Amino acid sequence: MKYKPKFSNSSTRYFQRLTQFVYIVTATNFWYRDVKLPNRFVKIYNCVSKFLEAIIIAFVITGFGASYTQKNLTHKQSTDILLKSISGFFGYTMYGFINYNKEEIKELLFSLTVSLKEICNVKIEKQMMMKIKMYMAGLMIVGCCPMAAYGVEGAFHTLTSNATFTTVIPIWPDLEDRRLVAGFARILIYIVWLLLFAHAMAVYSLIICISICLGYQFANLYEYFLDLNNIFDGEDNHEDQEKKYEEAIKVGIKMHNIILRCVNQLQSSCKVVYGGQILINVCVMVLLMVQMMQTDRSLVQLAPIVFMATGILVTSGLFIWSAGDITFEAERLPTAMFHSGWHNCRRQSYVRVRKLITFAMIQAQHVVVIKGLGVIELSYDSYIAIVKSSYSVFSIIY
């Protein structure tokens, strides 16, 4: 057998490090145990984080007000205020909702890293970790590039055209205010914007990793049921083989129920996140296309737009693809149950096992799907439709 009970695995250690990273960024512990950091640091950081959260919330709330306090804005600058205010509002709302449901996330992580490790396929585990690391590398690269590009653009204009360093147009100071305190305030605003972005990236990392892990739990269970047929290839007494098979089937059904419960927990705790990401994708892509029409075709001005568009498309893709994989893997499970070897049982054992398999297959044939905005089924096809809808809205406006 390729399965090891309570296997101390790399995914458990990875999620522990991931939640520790999320805590350092957001001061919220999503792990079901205390964070492994010095107690003095945790106490001080919890106090400091409250002050930082208040600043970030004030930044998000006042973002839309810049349109009224700033005068003589260009069309691109007006669009830029709307773009960053919308993305910041949705991004922090998503974090706030996840923070509100952190106990449910903790329970979900406990199920993924403890309860579902009663059976663990080492090969599937390695494939899952490889995919998680690949997705996280892509997320970090495409996520950090837009922030760096906006910072470089602001510094470039400051050095070449004597403009003020402006990455996010704030409610204060005025764009033409050249006092030292105004310059210092703009740098602080850029740092606060980076903190807000870090909150969003932390939420993205956590939810995408959980979605990937859930998809591979179905893949793990698929291999588990197929492998049960090998029980009857041994030299044991046939009655002993039947008992072993029957117990293994019960374990598989129990694991399937736990996975389905985890999917429901993911849907309920992250429904705002999935819906918010769809809205961010459509709204931001439309505004970026508008900006593309309004801006000069210079490399410095195009780079932030291109990087932001790439970041939004890739981030939405990682969200939707990982959720769609759950549906794909779940659909394969009834086939594995049918080919698990139940036909090798005889007499009363055959009757009992057939009832178990029938019940399990009926349950597994129910479509498992993650939805955004309550109606959009997240899959590879829906991702294409969402991307196309952004251009459709833009084409109607222009």
Assign residue 308 a region: left if phi > 0, alpha if psi is -120 to 50, beta otherwise?
A: alpha
Domain contains 21: yes
- According to the model, what pLDDT value does residue 157 have? 87
* Residues 15/209, Cβ–Cβ less than 8 Å: yes
For residues 282-289, average pLDDT: 93
**pLDDT at residue 3 greater than cutoff 50:** no
**Is residue 5 in some structural domain?**
no
Going by pLDDT thresholds of 50, 70 and 90, the confidence category of residue 50 is: very high
pLDDT in tens, 191-209: 999 999 999 999 999 999 9
Q: Is residue 140 part of a domain?
A: yes
The amino acid present at 360, given as its one-letter code, is A
Separation between Cα atoms, residue 5 and residue 93, nearest integer Å: 39
**Of 304, 293, 219, the residue nearest 256 (C-alpha):** 219
Q: Determine the structural domain holding residue 355 and report its residue range.
A: 10-397
Instruction: Count CB neighbours of 195 within 10 A.
Output: 16
Considering the domain boundaries, does residue 2 fall inside one?
no
pLDDT reported for residue 374: 83
Beta strands 376-377; 371-372: pairing state = antiparallel
Least confident segment among 72-76, 296-300, 314-318? 296-300
The arithmetic mean of pLDDT across residues 169-174, rounded, is: 91
Is pLDDT of 4 > 70? no
What's the chain's average pLDDT?
91
pLDDT tens-digit map of 322-377: 999 999 999 999 999 999 999 999 889 899 999 999 999 999 999 999 999 888 99
The larger pLDDT score, comparing residue 134 to residue 393, is at: 134
List, for residues 362-384, the tens digit of each pLDDT value.
999 999 999 998 889 999 999 99
Residue 54 has pLDDT above 90, yes or no: yes
Q: Over 50: is that where the pLDDT of 7 sits? A: no
Domain count, the chain: 1
The alpha carbon of 283 is separated from its chain's Cα centroid by a whole number of angstroms, namely: 19
What is the reported pLDDT for 74? 86
Above 80 in pLDDT, residue 92?
A: yes
205 contacts 105 by C-beta, under 8 angstroms: no
pLDDT tens-digit series, residues 238-253: 889 999 999 999 999 9
**Strand, coil or helix: 350:** helix
pLDDT of residue 245: 94
The least confident of 1-15, 269-283, 337-351 is 1-15
177 located within any domain: yes
Does 5 have pLDDT greater than 70?
A: no
- pLDDT at residue 317 greater than cutoff 50: yes
The answer to whether 198 and 140 have CB atoms below 8 angstroms apart is: no
In this model, does residue 96 exceed pLDDT 80? yes
Rounded Cα distance, 386 and 149, in Å: 26
pLDDT at 233: 84
- Tell me the helix, strand and coil percentages in the chain, rounded to 5: 80, 0, 20
> Does residue 65 form part of some domain?
yes
pLDDT at 8: 52
Rounded distance, CA 50 to CA 54, Å?
A: 6
Percent of the chain with pLDDT over 90: 75
Q: What is the mean pLDDT of residues 102-123?
A: 91
